[in-house]
Amino acid sequence: MLDIPFWKRLLILGLVVLGLLFAMPNLFYKRVELHNDAITAAERNGFESTEQAEARAGWPDWLPSGLVNLGLDLRGGAHLLGEVHVEDVYKARMDGLWPELRDALAAQRDTVGAIRRVTAPEGELAVEIGNPDQMARAVEIARGLSTPVASLTGAGQSDLAISASGNRLQVALSDAEKAAADERTVQQSLEIIRRRIDEVGTREPTIMRQGEDRILIQVPGIGSAEELKELIGTTAKLTFNPVVGRTTDAHARPGTGNVLLPSMDEKDVYYVIEASPVVTGEDLTDARPSFDQNGEPSVDFRFGPSGAKRFGAYTSANISQPFAIVLDDQVISAPVIRQAITTGSGQISGSMNIEESTRLAVLLRAGALPAEMTFLEERTIGPELGQDSIDAGRLSSIIATAAVVAYMIASYGLFGVFASVAVIANVILILSVMSMIGATLTLPGIAGIVLTVGTAVDANVIIYERIREELRAGKRVVKAIDDGFSEAMSAIIDANVTSFISAMVMFFLGSGPVKGFAVTLTIGIATSVFTAIFLTRMMIVLWLEWRKPKQLIL
C-alpha cells in the first residue's frame, strides 16, 4: 500500500490544487457574484455598460467563477409549492366544443331531430337528441369532430370519448387526451410562471415540476410569498393586431394609432402594428400543436364565439395581409392570412419543428394560467435571517474544524497534523465540487459539512488505531503502517457505503433543505474517502521517505 507511483502523487496533488482553485471564488462571494451577473446581463442585452464592465473586472476572467448556490434559507426569498387544477381544462374544452357540436348536429336536424344541451358532470358534455333511433348518426357526427391525440403515448387514439344511452349523447375527453391535456396544462403553467418570473429578472429562480401536477417555485431575493403569488397570478396580455409594416430601425416612428414592437425571436426586427387589437387572448379558448395538410408541424387555435366573429370578419377583409400575434408587447410571429377564418379556429403554420410548434402553442395559451393553482406550501425567509444563518454557520464551521484539528493533533501528534490537513482539504473539496456542479447550499447543508468534518477523520482514526495495534504487536514502522492501511480498508469501505445509502435515500425522498443536506453529505462522503485514503497516505509516505524513521510513537 505504500508504493505510490509518481504519476499518482501528481494526480492526488493536482486534484487538491484543482479543488482549491474551484473553491476559491466562494471566498470572494460578492465580487464573483457581481462579475457573473455582469456577464449574464451583458449577454442578454448585447452590450456592456461601464458599471457592468467594472463589475466584471472585479474578478479575473481566467479564474474559475462557479459559486456555491445559496439556498433560500440562507439568501432569503420566497418558496411556493402550487398544485395545478388540471381538471379545469376539461371543462373549458367541453364548453368550447359545444357550439361546434351544436352546429354539426343542427345541420343534420332532419335526421337526428331537435338537440338540447343538458346538465352533465364537470368535464363532460351531454346532449339530448329528438330521434333516439338515429343515435348512431349523431355519434358519427360527434366522432367527426374528434382529432387524433397529439402525444407520443396516446398517438393514434381519438381525443374524444363518445358514448350514447337512450336519447342522450355524452362526450368527454378520452383518457389518452386527458393525460396529454394534463401534461400540456402543467407545461403551460410552468412556461407561464417562468415567463412571469423571468420578466422581473431575479437571480436564479427555481421553477420546476414536482410529481404529476405540482410546481415548485423558489425565488431568492423576493420580499414575500405573497408578492410572488401576485406576480404569478397576473395574466399575460395576448393580442392579435393588424400589421402595418416591418422594420429593423428601433427608432422608427410608428405613426398615430400604431405602435412599434420588437420581434421575440428575430434579432433587430421590429413591427409597426395597429394599437387596437382585432382579438385578444381572452377570446382564445385553446391552442394545441398539430399538423397541417402537408404533414408539417403547426399550431391549431380556437376562439370563443365573439372572438370568432370578429376574427372572421377581419381575416376575410385582409387576405394575404400579415397579422401579428403579440404577447406582452413582443411580436411572437406575424403570419400571412391565407384565407378567411370564419370558423373561429385557425392554424398557424410555417417553418417549425414539433418542438417549436409545441412551444408556440404553449406561448399562445401562456396568456393566462390554463388552470387554477392552489398553493400547498408557502415560505418566506427574510434576508436578515439568512445572513444571520450564514454568519452562524461560518462561525460554527470554523470552531468545529479547530476543535477537531486540536483533538486529532493531541491524540496522534504528527499523524494528527496529516489528518487535519486532510480534513481541511476535504472541506475545500466539498465546496469546490458544489461550486462546479452548481449545487445549492442550505443551512442543513452547512450542518452536513460540519458533520463531515467530524466523521471525515473517522477513516483516519480507523487507520491510525490499526497502525497503533500493529506497532504494539511489535511490527516495524513501515510494515505497521502498510498493514494498518490495508487492514483498515474494508472497514472504511463498508462504513462509507452504509452512510452513502442513507444519504441517497434522503436525496431521492427528501425535498428542499433535506435534499440540500443529502447532496452535501454525499459529496462529503466521496471527498472524505479520497482525502483519508489517498491524501493522508501520500503525506505519510512522503514523511517516511524523508525521515526513514526507525520507530514511531502514535
Q: Binders of other proteins among 378-397, rule CB under 8 A?
A: 378-382, 384-385, 388-389, 392-393, 395-397
Choice from 73, 159, 182, 300 touching other proteins (CB under 8 A): 73
485 sits near other proteins (criterion: CB under 8 A): no
Beta bridge partners of 247: 270
Choice from 343, 494, 542, 547 touching other proteins (CB under 8 A): 494
Site for other proteins in 512-541 (CB under 8 A): 512-514, 517-518, 521
Measure the CA–CA gap between 205 and 10, rounded to whole angstroms. Answer: 40
Strands 440-441 and 69-70, by their bridges, are: parallel
Given the rule CB under 8 A, which of 38-46, 343-351, 424-432, 440-448 is the region that contacts other proteins?
440-448
Label residues 272-295 b or e (16+ Cβ within 10 Å = b): bbbeebbbbbbbbbbbbbbbeeee
> In 145-301, which ranges are continuous DSSP H helix?
175-200, 225-233
Given the rule CB under 8 A, which of 161-169, 183-191, 274-282, 497-505 is the region that contacts other proteins?
497-505
Helix axes 175-200, 354-365, angle to 10 degrees: 70
Helix axes 477-509, 536-547, angle to 10 degrees: 170
Residue 434 near residue 519, CB atoms below 8 Å: yes
Rounded to a whole number of angstroms, the minimum distance from the CB of residue 329 to other proteins is 29
Rounded to a whole number of angstroms, the minimum distance from the CB of residue 196 to other proteins is 18
Given the rule CB under 8 A, which of 172-180, 277-285, 291-299, 499-507 is the region that contacts other proteins?
499-507
Choice from 17, 118, 155, 399 touching other proteins (CB under 8 A): 399
Choose between 73 and 177: whose C-beta lies nearer to other proteins: 73
Measure the CA–CA gap between 203 and 191, rounded to whole angstroms. Answer: 17
Choose between 138 and 481: whose C-beta lies nearer to other proteins: 481
User: What length does the chain have?
Assistant: 554
Choice from 101, 503, 532, 533 touching other proteins (CB under 8 A): 503
Rounded to a whole number of angstroms, the minimum distance from the CB of residue 64 to other proteins is 28
The residue count for binding other proteins (CB under 8 A) is 88
Rounded to a whole number of angstroms, the minimum distance from the CB of residue 516 to other proteins is 10
Rounded to a whole number of angstroms, the minimum distance from the CB of residue 48 to other proteins is 37
- Phi, psi (5° rounding) for residue 145? -85, -10
Choice from 63, 107, 354, 403 touching other proteins (CB under 8 A): 403
Q: How many helices (H) and strands (E) does the chain have?
A: 17, 19
Residue 552: HSE in the Cβ half-sphere, 13 Å Cα cutoff:
26
Extract the runs of DSSP E, i.e. beta strands, from 65-110.
69-70, 77-84
Choice from 137, 421, 487, 543 touching other proteins (CB under 8 A): 487
- List CB contacts of 290: < 8 A, sequence separation 6 or more: 147, 150, 297, 298, 299, 300, 347, 357
Here the cell at position 11 is: 494526480
Residue 375: HSE in the Cβ half-sphere, 13 Å Cα cutoff:
16
Best CA proximity match to 98, nearest among 120, 80, 113, 81:
120
Rounded to a whole number of angstroms, the minimum distance from the CB of residue 171 to other proteins is 31
CA angle 301, 307, 308 (to 5 degrees): 65
Residue 366 near residue 416, CB atoms below 8 Å: no
Choose between 285 and 496: whose C-beta lies nearer to other proteins: 496
Measure the CA–CA gap between 301 and 348, rounded to whole angstroms. Answer: 8
State whether residue 322 is helix, strand or coil.
Answer: strand
Measure the CA–CA gap between 142 and 257, rounded to whole angstroms. Answer: 44
Choose between 179 and 478: whose C-beta lies nearer to other proteins: 478
Site for other proteins in 291-350 (CB under 8 A): none
Site for other proteins in 202-231 (CB under 8 A): 224-226
- List CB contacts of 135: < 8 A, sequence separation 6 or more: 112, 129, 164, 167, 169
122 sits near other proteins (criterion: CB under 8 A): no
Rounded to a whole number of angstroms, the minimum distance from the CB of residue 439 to other proteins is 16
544 sits near other proteins (criterion: CB under 8 A): yes
Burial label, 9 (beta-carbon count in 10 A; 0-12, 13-18, 19+): middle
Choose between 214 and 237: whose C-beta lies nearer to other proteins: 214
Longest C-alpha distance within the chain, in Å?
Answer: 111
Choose between 167 and 499: whose C-beta lies nearer to other proteins: 499
Beta bridge partners of 162: 171
Site string for other proteins, 448-477 (x = CB under 8 A): x-xx-xxx-xx--xx--x--xx--x-----
Rounded to a whole number of angstroms, the minimum distance from the CB of residue 531 to other proteins is 14
Site for other proteins in 362-381 (CB under 8 A): 374-381
Residue 26 near residue 435, CB atoms below 8 Å: yes
Beta bridge partners of 210: 214
Choose between 297 and 444: whose C-beta lies nearer to other proteins: 444
Rounded to a whole number of angstroms, the minimum distance from the CB of residue 220 to other proteins is 14
Site for other proteins in 40-69 (CB under 8 A): none
Choose between 197 and 457: whose C-beta lies nearer to other proteins: 457
Rounded to a whole number of angstroms, the minimum distance from the CB of residue 549 to other proteins is 11
Residue type, 224: S
Rounded to a whole number of angstroms, the minimum distance from the CB of residue 75 to other proteins is 13
Choice from 135, 337, 400, 436 touching other proteins (CB under 8 A): 400
Choice from 139, 436, 506, 526 touching other proteins (CB under 8 A): 506
